[in-house]
Chain A
Amino acid sequence: MTDKDWRNFGLAVVGLAIAACLPLSGNGYYLTIGVTIAMYVVLATSWALFSGPTHYISLATAAFYGLGTYVVALGIDDVPYIVLLVIALVVGAVSAALVGLATLRLSGVYFVIFTLGLAEMVRQVVTWVQSNWGGHQGNYVLTDITEEIIYWELLALAACVYLAGWLIGRSRLGFALKIIGNDEVVAAHSGINTARSKVLLFMVSGMVASLVGAILAPRWTYIEPSIAFSPMLSFQVVIMALLGGVKRLWGPLVGVIPFTLLWEAVSISFPNQTLLLMGVAFLLIVYTIPHGFVGLLETYSARFRERKG
């Protein structure tokens, strides 16, 4: 590792340690915002791990997230929670692998719409199964898991995602993904198994989303399909990641935080026009910050360097 790596590593550890102290503030509201931010940081970062280098815009986050939620909902009465987390992880990875194998040859808008449809299809199948064979199970998740625990779980997961992202970035796999994102034909002709690389990364992002769903399930107490498979979730993850910028591992982080705070500010100040104003904010982001905060920062720092030099 280089000096820079050590510095970044140190920064990350300090940041994480500070974040981990949030519940100690004793303010439940800050903690709730913290959970929201942690959840979206994890989802957006793992989303960007796949979509950043490959430029495949996946709207399947809700599908995997919902699967994880339902794993917990269906199993909580019979299986220990920790085992359910593992099952959720496996279910997410396996289904992402299946989906990936089937769809990663689709490109552009087809992939986008496909993943959007996928969330709906999974939702339909899950509710149909529950409706026909679920019996009384599947709606209530009554546990003693508090918001603090959920928050720490999410932070730990965030740490894992960053570590994984950093390792992938340094690995052949990460390099392969970069090449694929540049030119898939060249990638194949350089000996890269493009399908395998993409599926692997898609699995990472799928299983993280599934795990997040499983971690958050106790927070809802009562699981409804509309809670578990909300298409809004997928879109929010995408917009937050893009707002931050997907070229850097920390990009989604700098997107999630301002977005969550902005959303908060809007809901507080305009409770009756929340959606309307969020729409306006959405448009402003798309029009004024097309390359995300990372792009913005890089432009400024480039200008700064120019001026200096």
Chain B
Amino acid sequence: MSQFFMAILIIVFGGFLALLLARQAKLMKLIAVFSLSAGCLLGVIDAGTKLMGSDIYTASFSFLRVFSLGFQMDGLSAFFLFAIFLVSLLATLYSFHYMDHAQKPLRVAANYFFFSLLIAAMALVVCSSNIITFMFSWEIMSLSSFFLVIYNYESAENRRAGYLYFVFSHVGAMFIFVAFGIVYGLTGSFDFTAMGSLTETAKYLVFIFSFIGFGSKAGVFPFHVWLPHAHPAAPSHISAVMSGVMIKTGIYGIIRVYSLLDFNTPVFGYIVLVAGVISGVLGVVYALGQQDLKRMLAYSSVENIGVILIGLGIGMVGVSEGNPLMAVLGFAGCFFHILNHSLFKSLLFMGAGMVLHKTGTRSIDALGGLLKNMKITGATFIIGSLAISGLPPFNGFVSEFFIYFGAFKGIALGKTAFVMCIFAIVGLAVIGGLALACFTRVIGVVFQGEPRTSAAVDVNEKGATMLISMLILAGACLIIGVFPGALIYMPMKAVSALGLAYGNIPLEPFYQMTGNITQSAMILFAVVLGVIALRSFFYRGKTIGKSGTWGCGFTQPTAKMQYTGSSYAGSILEFFSAAAPLTVEHSPISGRFPLKTDYKSRINDIAELHMGTLIVRPVLFFFDKLRWIQHGDIHLYIGYILLAIILLLFFI
């Protein structure tokens, strides 16, 4: 594992260097980016090679004399490491030009410092093999990412985001504490492997608590409230990392605990699956309703976490129903989607970052027609959208294809599993459709049509490193989408690391599936080429005219008359108004000839809505009622002492 630790050291060292060299900004950025990306590259290579082989690497350091910091790198860890380092690498590259306009060198340095800590912590989280190590890295991860979220703390909104995130991650960590506390309490060992020897009831408890804890990090539906606030607040390359890989550490936690518990109850599968479907559908519905580009992407992360969980749930149900094929398909789909999502989500966030960087606004309805000036950004963003909508021939389709397959395998099963699988399939279908609507909306409103405000007029897309990393990611999305067979072994390694009792899984059937995907993608390409040929044949020597858009008889169309994102989503959101209530504010029309009026509409997240009324307010009320204790009168204070003694004397 030395190579792994070397990578970590390089990364952290780079962070420290950045802090030291904060004064001379250019040099600092250069060094930081260099060493961070060097470390990530090393890590990627390391993880990739480890994924080739199938042996487990362990390392352990003595800690506070009696305890030990244990690390273990099996297929599962290596798989996550691969994604983490890959995305971090590209994000680091991206940041080089993204952070260039920052006037505060010290803050940029701090940003790189905490970024390096975040990368290291994520890597350590997925490699830790006992409770102490895990919680340690986990908390470091939360802390460093918090500082990254409040990078622009001048705006109250970002401060609130940071606060929400801080509290949520801490409470989540507490839930994990409980889960691990139960483990230690019953086994007396800090080692993860001890989990296997728990009693059934304990296993249920451990799973539930850790699911809540990790779910709050991953952004599973009721616990996702922090996510759409925090991710947009951070600088875009950070959002890319957070959305791309950091929330996956939550998924990692769930999977790891599940595999360690080694307990084939269907209940876990059902819980995960239902949670997945709910977060998937609601996530994309809320995404559809957002007017903030990055927040919309954040919600779509909730959706994709949902998809991942569906895959996971299918896998778990398959295991508990004793259906190996279903199990492997589900898990494989889950892992594949983890990888894919980390690719296209970071791509999309980078695109959004470019837009924000150049136009200075995140409001979707303020943009438009960017594709004309931002060709590469637009193209890559469209590729990303196609991928995230799970359309062939892009990588999103591959993972969903696997998950569908697994779910259909479940159709043949008994009652509950059957219903669950129907739920999963229909859920996936609806998610797919909504995602398509959601991303056509973004592309249509942000990149196409005419600029709606001056912010979107004559922009450019300078910044080589930003473009490069976006291009790489887009290329990856396409290549994986066409040749999934090349990477199928990675998720498979992860699956076989789960310790399901299937021995080593035969890859042939999956190669066949991926082969089919490749073949059909090829067919599609062929037909498209054919049609293009046909078209050019028809167009040879034809006159191509240019004119304004046909306004159906209206001759003075303005950019303001375009369909806005809100209106585009309106009818769909109406359908889901039960889960996504819409609040509308507009000043009443006054006077005989009303001149100016305004209209604001916002989609409410029910989880956020109820969190305030059901949890925060009661708690505050309760504690407010207690405040009179300290009411300043010394006589009462002495009375407390007397009271304490008298009460205690009763127990003698």
Co-assembled chains A and B = no
Q: Which residues of B contact A (CB under 8 A)?
A: none
Q: Which residues of A contact B (CB under 8 A)?
A: none
